[in-house]
Structure 1
Amino acid sequence: MTSPSEVLASIAEQQPDVYKLGKTFGNPCLKLVSTNKVPVMAREASIVLKLPQETINMLLKEEGNRMYIPMTGKPMKEWLEVPDTYAHRW
């Protein structure tokens, strides 16, 4: 199985005009070339996506998905953590 960070590297390689690799919260991430904003990051066994809250609410109904909670212990608004059990969708 491809690791989450390998998935991000592949996306950046395929779309270098759109994404570049970076780090956020100590994790590999993709940054938009145009704005330097982070729409997605990789964790050890998951992908963390910045999505509209309405989309997150829908995806939270799927087993294993959860709000992203950094070391502060407080869930981050508009960030969803998707486990590698859904890697076939990445």
Structure 2
Amino acid sequence: MMPKTSEQAIAEYDVVAAGLESAGVTRGSMFGMPCLKVGRKVLAGMFGDAMTFKLPPEPREKALTLPGAEPFDPGMGKPMKEWVLIPLAQSSSWPTYAAEALDYVRG
């Protein structure tokens, strides 16, 4: 079951999405979760009051040092290996990690 998302989290997500539009990032959904894509590749998503990001090893390790950040497990009991969940309390870092994720998925 998807966690509830607050209006504040949606507003912060919208800021991130708008900031990436000029780079060709579009909104979509993955497994019922709002997400950001470039082409068919997902780079970030909204999960409750947090955003998830697909990151390469070094930025992922740095993100995991943020208070409340953790490997992203969508509820299946096993974290997705390249994904990190960063809570709303750390939303000031979301644009930075979204840019890192965009660079990563573009290869």
For 2:42 and 2:56, locate their aligned partners in 1 and report how far apart those are by CA, in whole Å.
14
The verdict on how the C-alpha distance between 1:13 and 1:54 changes in structure 2, with shifts beyond 3 A counting, is closer
CA RMSD, Structure 1 to Structure 2 (Å): 2.1
Match of 1:82 among 77, 80, 86: 86
Structure 2 length as normaliser, TM-score? 0.68
After superposition, the C-alpha distances for 1:8-30 in whole angstroms (9 at most, x for unaligned) are: 44454551660111111211001
- Say yes or no: does 1:58 pair with 2:66: no
Q: Relative contact order (C-alpha < 8 Å, sep 6+): which is higher? A: 2
Identical-residue share of aligned pairs (%): 30
The verdict on how the C-alpha distance between 1:17 and 1:46 changes in structure 2, with shifts beyond 3 A counting, is same
- Which residues of structure 1 form unaligned runs of 5+? none
How many pairs were matched up?
87
Higher helix residue share: 2
Alignment partner, residue 38 of structure 1 = 42
